[in-house]
Structure 1
């Protein structure tokens, strides 16, 4: 079971993807904040030190600060990361797997996505 007070941060430069993921997470009872860029997300973290999402969903390829760079900056925090991408990148996939992050190709299966988020949040995936 997932703690409903936890917030998932969704960082993706595509508005329709952010909206769809937020809607999907909401349907599973998971709260989400969305960010249009890595820089917007990092700005939130630095301007509100108490803001700490329980999991971060990162698009790999974004203008400005990309997903892997955000992951490097978050590495010391222990916040679980789920990478999402339309363009499979072997080096990034290997880095994600080695670090314990999930790596999903768009479009991803909703059930698998929710299970990945639930596992990242420390819960048991829904049956």
Structure 2
């Protein structure tokens, strides 16, 4: 599946619509020094799901990228917490600047501990995407 502006935006919107009140919390991880599980501080695109034995979407944009067809394995390692605009360049995703700005606005709202539904509202208010969604 090839990702497009429309498929990515639709996937992000669908995830936010399914969980409009979700406030993102970075996943816990095992501290290699102590073995204790501690709360993460970075927004991550993916996290490991032991029950499924695969990487799954973590933050709103990570969920959207995977739902739109990006292989979750491409979102691990160095790419797991980088800014979205850089991730788009590194993975050579064919997303327009307007969609990248919209996504970054949603990501900033999520990182301010706002619910996903509000994050989308803020992104839509700053970067309306009617023309993108009609393509």
Q: TM-score, normalised by structure 1?
A: 0.30
Higher relative contact order (CA 8 A, sep 6+): 2
Whichever structure has more helix as a proportion of its residues is 2
Q: Considering only CA atoms, is the larger Rg found in Structure 1 or Structure 2?
A: 2
